[in-house]
Amino acid sequence: MLLEVKNVRKSFGGFKAVNGASLDVEKGEIVAVIGPNGAGKTTLFNVITGVLKPNGGRVIFKGDDITGLPSHKTCKKGIARSFQIVNIFSRLTVFENVQIAVLTEQGRDLNLFTPSRKLAVEETNAILGSVGLIEKANSVCSSLSHGERKVLEIAIVLGGRPELLILDEPTAGMSPEETARCISLIQQLSAKYGLTILFCEHDMELVFSIAQRIMVMVRGSTILQADCATVRCNKAVQDAYLGEG
């Protein structure tokens, strides 16, 4: 088991955003988290990656308890994530964006004197090549389209050479073509690098086409984690979620 989330709880004031969420992810799997708006999906990801400290429950990664570890440390353990709202370095070039991730992963973040342009060039170009952004390498990010920025963020995340990739709504705001490209990118990454991917998404078509297993969250709690067919047929899921949509 790569990641185990056991009965995690997180509340903001009196509001229980996550109230007993459990999840397990095997190595090499693609797992989706679905649920209506406000089900606590993003909060759960924030707890796993250490952005938020949970009020209860455990997060176990590769057998180590990582509950409440700050995000720069969970990252060093091998968990990387993209955000729902695009988070990139807007004043830097596409190349520099990914290079920062690679340099940090290589532990060179405190190197004061070696010129950056000589470092991590091959690794960075390899990643840009695999996501199809190599022609844009020298463009400043602010000139990219929304879809390209989302892909760039995935490229940045890959720069950290994660074992577990967490994507928070990877296709939000994308055009249908961009979405299609993003789906094939995610599938490629999983096949090529054997990456384990955990993601949440509102687009059901996307979820059922790439996820191997699905976890359903409603009002902060896990109601089911199973394979796609089971989730599709489950009465509780239909009532809580699919029925509404």
C-beta separation of 138 from 93 below 8 A: yes
Contact positions with another protein (CB under 8 A) in 131-170: 138, 156, 159-160
- Out of 7, 11, 22, 87, the only residue in the binding site for another protein (CB under 8 A) is 87
Radius of gyration of the chain (CA): 18
Q: Which sign does the torsion angle of CA 58, 72, 214, 195 carry?
A: negative
CB of 214 to another protein, least distance (A): 25
User: Which two three-digit tokens encode residue 139?
Assistant: 């463009």
CB of 127 to another protein, least distance (A): 13
Q: Which is nearer to another protein, 156 or 218 (CB)?
A: 156
200 binds another protein (CB under 8 A): no
83 binds another protein (CB under 8 A): yes
Span from 6-14, 64-72, 176-184, 198-206 in contact with another protein (CB under 8 A): 64-72
C-beta separation of 196 from 112 below 8 A: no
CB of 81 to another protein, least distance (A): 6
What are the C-alpha distances in Å from 207 to residues 71, 152, 183? 26, 21, 10
Span from 116-124, 170-178, 197-205, 212-220 in contact with another protein (CB under 8 A): 116-124
- Sheet with 196-200: strands ordered across: 79-82, 164-168, 196-200, 30-34, 213-218, 221-227
Question: DSSP characters for 29-94?
Answer: -EEEEE-STTSSHHHHHHHHHTSS--SEEEEEETTEE-TT--HHHHHHHTEEEE-SS----TTSBH
- Out of 22, 55, 92, 226, the only residue in the binding site for another protein (CB under 8 A) is 92
**Residue 191: CB atoms within 10 Å:** 10
CB of 227 to another protein, least distance (A): 30
CB of 122 to another protein, least distance (A): 16
Size of the residue set binding another protein (CB under 8 A): 41
- Out of 11, 55, 104, 212, the only residue in the binding site for another protein (CB under 8 A) is 104
What per-residue string of b and e applies to 4-16 under the rule 16 or more CB within 10 Å gives b? bbeebbbeeeeeb
- Out of 11, 22, 55, 93, the only residue in the binding site for another protein (CB under 8 A) is 93
Q: Which residues bind another protein (CB under 8 A)?
A: 49, 51, 70-73, 75-76, 80-81, 83, 87-93, 96-97, 99-101, 103-105, 108-117, 119, 138, 156, 159-160
